[in-house]
Chains A and B, each alone.
Chain A
Amino acid sequence: MIVGITIITVSILVNQVTKETFSKNNPGLDAVVGAKGSPLQLILSSIHHIDIPTGNISYKNARKIIKHPAIKSAIPISLGDNFQNFRIVGTNKSFLKLYKANLISGTAWSQPMQAVIGYNVSKITKLKINKFFVGSHGLIDTGDVHAEQPYKVVGVLKKTGTILDNLILTSLDSVWNLHSVTNKDKLEITSLLLKYKNKTSSFSFPRLINKGTNMQAASPSFEISKLLKLTGNAHRIVDYLSVLIMILSFLGILFTLLNNINERKYDLAVLRTLGFSRWKLFSIILSEGMIISILGSTIGLIFGYIVYESMYYFSIVGRSLELGQLSFLNDLFLIWIIVNIIAFITCLVPCIKVYKQNIRSTLLNS
């Protein structure tokens, strides 16, 4: 039972938190334009900062898109470096407005090599205002650092419960300076985060980019719903497996109690002769079964939560997940109730057997 509930708990938590995280990380973006490749990869790398980018696009071409009449807002981002596995994102200040980010302390960057750090970055790396740090090349800490050009922390963001908490933001110039790109025609960015003026553009605009340029436009909602559909199937398989384990544990409880009763039928008959009523024995056996069930299901929930928390602490992907307003608690509580109701019904079988026991014949046969 503990194993079954643990698996169900982890499955629910991961499922809910993944959905919630994907939804919270997207502040109403309609499209992401980036280098050709997997559209899902583009979305995951540019909005959720999980995957690696598909490549770079020319900033010159990106500026043309920014000026397109269908576009309401366009925010360029440039990825490539990290600090202790937290991604350094080159962007402009509109990025802060996009996530409605507020500063706990300091200000936004005003010149190259100044950085604003997310809440979790500050908490985990202990970086503070006016502290310096050096970025490491790549999106995972490899030790290959840009030691000659450190960043200075000028601002720390309030907790948002989004991916912003795990990002280090700086100007695009910082990223270009660090990678020694001086020719304005050769400036590159990773992607553009777009909002349309009119939602009808979601059909025409991507086609325009995908067919007319060497870039691609991907829709976050479409790609994420595709991903969730795929992972949803995996979750369903895990759920079926845990239901199977649960059924086996119910049968385990049933046969353990039946076996116990069979072994103790003489003792139970003796208890009746001493004055224990049928109902009293019925309730004792029921209590035994329910104690196993309640303890097992509660320990399972706790184990499930511990497994989930371990995932959060020990995986880089986990760091991108944000636990929301404990909305999963209702689902877990519902499962806990259902499991214990089924256990209750299962326990009734041995209880009825005890209730119907004929004490005289049991004592005579023993």
Chain B
Amino acid sequence: MLICEDISFDIDGQKLFSNINLNIKPQKDLLITGPSGVGKTTLLSILCGIQKPTTGKITYNSIDLYNLPENKIDEFRGKNLGVVFQNFNLINTFTVKQNLEIAVSAIDTKKSIPFFNILDRVGLANKSHIKVANLSIGEKQRLAVARAFVGDPKWVFCDEPTSSLDDKNANIIANLIKEESLRCKASLVLITHDSRIQTLIKFSKILKLGDE
């Protein structure tokens, strides 16, 4: 279970958001919406252990995330969380398959990873040896989703996964995220200001940021 208690974040002494309390049960989904600039991406970074909050506490199955040493936070993120970043954060000089392999090497897992099956599920099986720089936006998004789910994470965070896509591709990505979350039995936290997403995925909880 993911519990956030009284999360707040200041930038240069000014509050971006405060007193955010969340409680996400296993295999439940949370949609965080709100207009641009309210701190959705910052909140996601805080939940993922990338950005320390100004105040508050985040616990994953009773592990206090920011109480861990920094190295352990990185390792925890690699082993338990999957993240789809808004701008993908793929390594452009690597091939599609290498981007998955490097993500797996961070986990230090001993089980063999069926890369072909994963790429097949996201429709990139025939592009495994193509460099990321040569992929379209839709393909990059699919690869980012595949990478987030490659280690079978228990919590998955997606930041604006459909905002830059047309309806067709948005539909594909939303379905992909939904299917992969079910396959991994993962809790999904999705951040977006894209109103189409609610018609594509049914969320058990919705948090609207910017609503005072």
Contacts and interface: CB of A to CB of B under 8 A. Distances in A.
B75 A275 contact: yes
B106 interface: yes
Nearest to B76: A275
A273 B83 contact: yes
Nearest to A361: B51
- Interface size bracket, A side: 10 to 19
A280 to B, nearest CB: 8
A360 B75 CA distance: 16
Interface stretch (B27-35, B84-92, B123-131, B176-184): B84-92
A359 to B, nearest CB: 6
B85 A363 contact: yes
A267 B71 contact: no
A274 B71 contact: no
A270 B50 CA distance: 11
Contact of A276 (B45, B70, B78, B83): B78
B71 A275 contact: no
A272 interface: yes
Given A274-B102, A278-B71, A267 B91 contact: yes
B74 A275 contact: yes
A279 interface: yes
Chain A at the B interface: SS class: helix
A31 B87 CA distance: 86
Contacts of A269: 89
Contacts of A280: 74, 106
A277 interface: yes
A271 B93 CA distance: 13
> Most B CB atoms within 10 A — which of A269, A271, A275, A278?
A275
Interface string B54-88: 00000000000000001110110111000101010
B89 A275 contact: no
Interface string A329-366: 00000000000000000000000000000011001000
B165 interface: no
Given A359-B50, A360-B45, A275 B70 contact: no
Contacts of A363: 85, 87, 89
A271 B70 contact: no
B16 interface: no
A273 to B, nearest CB: 6
B71 A279 contact: yes
Contacts of B85: 273, 363
A275 B91 contact: no
Interface string A232-275: 00000000000000000000000000000000000101111111
B107 interface: yes
Contact of B74 (A270, A277, A360): A277
A308 to B, nearest CB: 43
Contact of A278 (B70, B93, B102, B147): B70
Contact of B71 (A270, A277, A359): A277
Contacts of A277: 70-72, 74-75
Contacts of B209: none
Given A276-B78, A277-B74, 13 more contacts: A270-B91, A272-B74, A273-B77, A273-B83, A273-B85, A274-B102, A276-B74, A276-B106, A277-B75, A278-B74, A279-B71, A280-B74, A363-B85
Interface of A: 267, 269-280, 359-360, 363
Interface of B: 45, 48, 50-51, 70-72, 74-75, 77-79, 83, 85, 87, 89-91, 93, 102-103, 106-107, 147
